[in-house]
Amino acid sequence: MWGKKDPTREVRAGIEATYSRLLRYCLVLTGKKDLADDLAQAACLRALEKAELFQSGTHFDRWIFRLTHNLWINDLRKQAIRRGAGISPIEEVDLPDTRPDQEVNILGQQVLTQIMALPEAQRSTVLLVYGEGYSYRDAADILDIPVGTVMSRLAGARTKLAQHFGD
């Protein structure tokens, strides 16, 4: 039909455009590259299965990030892996950095190591707001929490990071 958009085509295009960001978000959620790959693939599959639920003209990245977060939370509940499984040291995860300044790369690695040491709720909130640039409201919508909770998580994360790096 002329003029009618194919939701599956839109979702495929959205996945293609946001996959690297989605994979980074999955890595922050899971803490392990293999789990991040699995979660990203599951999120893409779910997005394609639920393509008709995506509202054309809205922000695809917010939609798939929320879908991914819900998948992760459901997986945590099903498998009870949050306690005891541990998180891979960030040094073991290959995160390409295209910036040329080695000192900036070292500092970035140190900051990311400390972010990965935060509790999962703070970790994902920090990535969405500071890493992906979402507003507090958008992050709250993605995580399905009140804006005040986003602010509280960020304040707690900033306090912990400031303790490590100094004010």
Q: Is the dihedral of CA 43, 59, 33, 35 positive or negative?
A: negative
Phi, psi of 40 (to 5 degrees): -65, -40
- Residue 86 near residue 117, CB atoms below 8 Å: no
Helix pair 60-79, 33-49: axis angle to 10 deg: 120
Sign of CA dihedral 145, 149, 151, 152: negative
pLDDT tens across the length of the chain (167 residues): 455 678 899 999 999 999 999 999 999 899 899 999 999 999 999 999 999 999 888 899 999 999 999 999 888 877 654 454 555 555 555 555 555 566 556 666 777 788 888 888 899 899 899 888 999 999 999 999 999 999 999 999 999 888 877 75
- Distance between CA atoms of residues 74 and 80, nearest Å: 10
Is the pTM above the cut of 0.85? no
Tokens of 42: 């599951």
